[in-house]
Structure 1
């Protein structure tokens, strides 16, 4: 299930942000206090932008799986659908299923004409997911501060390609 994040999601969100392996390509592991600011920023974007990352919830258990969805803070290099899944749920297909639903939402509801995924070139699992979604590497892009020093490529596709792909 995709839903707007709620305060009850924060403990799992903070654990995800603190995991050095999961946060390695997202700007690095964060202590709980910094994760709170990240959580608050992303939930606040629902008010200021009308969209942001969703919490991904496992239907059977109600467990918080990760955060996936549209993302475009000020200065971002494009309209993104990004993802991050907690270690316990990695490799089980949740990211692909949720990313497909988020792509549909970004294109059909938000009217994104192009969707990108900013990915570190060493992040092989995210590159594989982008390829499964039908995205291709558009080359290096610059993120705004405080992420300016991160090396990322903009994988992506236009809305027409996404619509044709999903049939």
Structure 2
């Protein structure tokens, strides 16, 4: 399956393309950006990781999107549905280039991806697997309306990480997203 294209006010979420490698390698090569997503990778390792994420679409019918900043056309990250073998739930995750931090892009893109996962994939709940030391992602999960569901164990070799799942049900998400009717 080829990924659909989702658009938000400032972003385009689209399929992963080989032309995204420069941005992907920048993301994975930066110790701050890669700290909570498995650690740094060199360019060749980044290509293999990128191919893994792209392959999820063929195997599962969903996967992470490349995040493109509309104003510049620049690749700024990856985000979206994620559930590899052994994962503790139906996740929408995010990883944004350090140069794009603090602009609300992760929240904007994650909102569109969560909407898509509930509407198109029919998910009943969504989680965000977050390292307990990752204060920025915990704050984002809370802004999205997710609560701490407690510790989770990731499949090897990621089982060494101290993570919690933050999440919410489809009903909680829809109630929060519904316009005020009173």
| TM-score (normalizing by structure 2) | 0.90
Instruction: Tell me which residue corresponds to 2:168.
Output: 157
Distance 2:139 2:15 in 1: 26
Instruction: Tell me which residue corresponds to 1:132.
Output: 143
Instruction: Tell me which residue corresponds to 1:113.
Output: 124
Q: How does 1:1-167 map to 2 (within 5 A)?
A: 1-167=12-178
Alpha carbon RMSD of aligned pairs, Å?
0.6
Distance 1:149 1:33 in 2: 24
Q: Secondary structure at the match of 2:114?
A: helix
Unpaired runs of 5+ residues, structure 2, are 1-11
Distance 1:2 1:160 in 2: 24
Q: Secondary structure at the match of 2:72?
A: coil
Compute the displacement of 1:79 (Å). Answer: 0.2
Compute the displacement of 1:34 (Å). Answer: 1.3
Compute the displacement of 1:32 (Å). Answer: 1.2
Q: What are the Cα deviations for residues 62-105 of structure 1, in whole angstroms up to 9, with x where unaligned?
A: 10111010000010000000000001100001011000001001
Q: Secondary structure at the match of 1:108?
A: helix
Runs of 4+ deviating beyond 4 Å: none
Unpaired runs of 5+ residues, structure 1, are none
Compute the displacement of 1:109 (Å). Answer: 0.6
Residue correspondences, number: 167
| TM-score (normalizing by structure 1) | 0.98
Compute the displacement of 1:33 (Å). Answer: 1.5
Distance 1:105 1:146 in 2: 29
